[in-house]
Amino acid sequence: EDQVTQSPEALRLQEGESSSLNCSYTVSGLRGLFWYRQDPGKGPEFLFTLYSAGEEKEKERLKATLTKKESFLHITAPKPEDSATYLCAVQPMNSGGYQKVTFGTGTKLQVIP
């Protein structure tokens, strides 16, 4: 069974204080790993897709990296508007021909001015 574990559950940062969120996964072959941002009262908003170990993607203050067992979401010099819950999800190779996706429980980030 596919498993996705995110840590920490919650993170409180001062504005400008860089940090990283972790997503550890167990799948029998990874097709893709997704990062989403979710604001309170909203649906998840897509950030990145990573396909293979060593791949990196950046968007503004966010950079996602991928290894064979985990992914990191690095946040550089965060601002209060980066406060949200960040969700990680995986799509396995053996999804029976369908695009099965399993989500983690998320990391709730709070950036204090």
Partner 1 sequence: EAGVAQSPRYKIIEKRQSVAFWCNPISGHATLYWYQQILGQGPKLLIQFQNNGVVDDSQLPKDRFSAERLKGVDSTLKIQPAKLEDSAVYLCASTATGFGNTIYFGEGSWLTVV
By the criterion CB under 8 A, which residues form the site for partner 1? 4, 6, 31-32, 34, 36, 41-46, 49, 51, 87, 89, 91, 95-96, 98-106
Q: In angstroms, give the least distance from the CB of 73 to partner 1.
A: 15
* C-beta of 48 vs 75, nearer to partner 1: 48
* C-beta of 34 vs 73, nearer to partner 1: 34
Q: In angstroms, give the least distance from the CB of 21 to partner 1.
A: 13
* C-beta of 15 vs 56, nearer to partner 1: 56
Q: In angstroms, give the least distance from the CB of 51 to partner 1.
A: 6
Q: In angstroms, give the least distance from the CB of 95 to partner 1.
A: 8
DSSP string, the chain: --EEEEE-SEEEEETT--EEEEEEEE-SSEEEEEEEEE-TTS--EEEEEE-STT-EEEETTEEEEE-SSEEEEEE-S--GGG-EEEEEEEEES-STTS---EE---EEEEEE-
